[in-house]
């Protein structure tokens, strides 16, 4: 088995932000509220003026949760070519069935942020493709879009499964 990459909670947080990973699932798995998790990652001050961070017990829980999130992400990889697949008059092929599969990724990833970052979509285009059945763009998700999204999901899952969060040197914790 490969040795895990030891990272600080700050490195994990920066990775999660950069790749649109939601804190909600991590919070559920470690048994804390979203607010507590976010507060620790952002080092908000506690009532004594000390920056918050995760204690050893929470770090152990995070390290157990990261491979679970990675496995759950891998289980949600997209598959192109449903019976809803169509080719438009311009010869472009799309699969509207991917809307539901991508929305299922929304438990783990900020879909709007991901589509903007990976595919260059505006929020308006994302809304037209996902939320407006009357739009000509509704369901226009190409095989290349699916490949790009799957590559990102696999990359995020790979990193999360190989990270091991280690405690900071100081003792102030939540």
Tens digit of each residue's pLDDT (9 = 90 or more) over 163-174: 999 987 654 444
* All domains in the chain, ordered by first residue: 5-75 (1.10.260), 86-156 (no CATH)
Residue 7's pLDDT is 96
- Kindly report the pTM of this predicted structure: 0.90
Whole-number average pLDDT of the chain: 93
Looking at residue 1, what is its pLDDT? 60
Share of the chain above pLDDT 90, in %: 89
Element (H, E) at 163: strand 163-165
Express each pLDDT in 92-145 by its tens digit. 999 999 999 999 999 999 999 999 999 999 999 999 999 989 989 999 999 999
Looking from the CA of 45 toward its CB, the CA atoms found within 13 Å total 4
Is the Cβ–Cβ distance between 111 and 105 less than 8 Å? Answer: yes
* Over residues 28-56, mean pLDDT: 92
> 23 with 38: CB under 8 angstroms?
yes
* Cα–Cα dist 77/33, whole Å: 27
């Amino acid at each position: 088995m490969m040795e895990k990459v030891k990272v600080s909670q700050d490195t994990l947080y920066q990775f999660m932000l950069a790749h649109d990973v939601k804190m909600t699932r991590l919070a559920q798995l470690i048994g804390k509220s979203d607010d507590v998790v976010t507060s620790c990652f952002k080092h908000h001050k506690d009532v004594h003026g000390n920056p918050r961070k995760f204690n050893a017990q929470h770090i152990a829980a995070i390290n157990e949760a990261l491979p679970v999130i990675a496995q759950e992400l891998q289980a949600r990889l997209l598959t192109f070519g449903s019976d809803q697949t169509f080719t438009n008059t311009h010869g472009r092929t799309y699969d509207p069935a991917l809307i539901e599969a991508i929305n299922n990724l929304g438990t783990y990833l900020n879909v709007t942020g991901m589509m903007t970052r990976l595919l260059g979509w505006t929020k308006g285009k994302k809304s037209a493709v996902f939320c407006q059945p009357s739009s000509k763009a509704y369901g226009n998700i190409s095989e290349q879009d699916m490949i790009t999204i799957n590559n990102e999901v696999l990359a995020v899952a790979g990193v999360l499964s190989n990270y091991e969060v280690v405690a900071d040197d100081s003792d102030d914790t939540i």
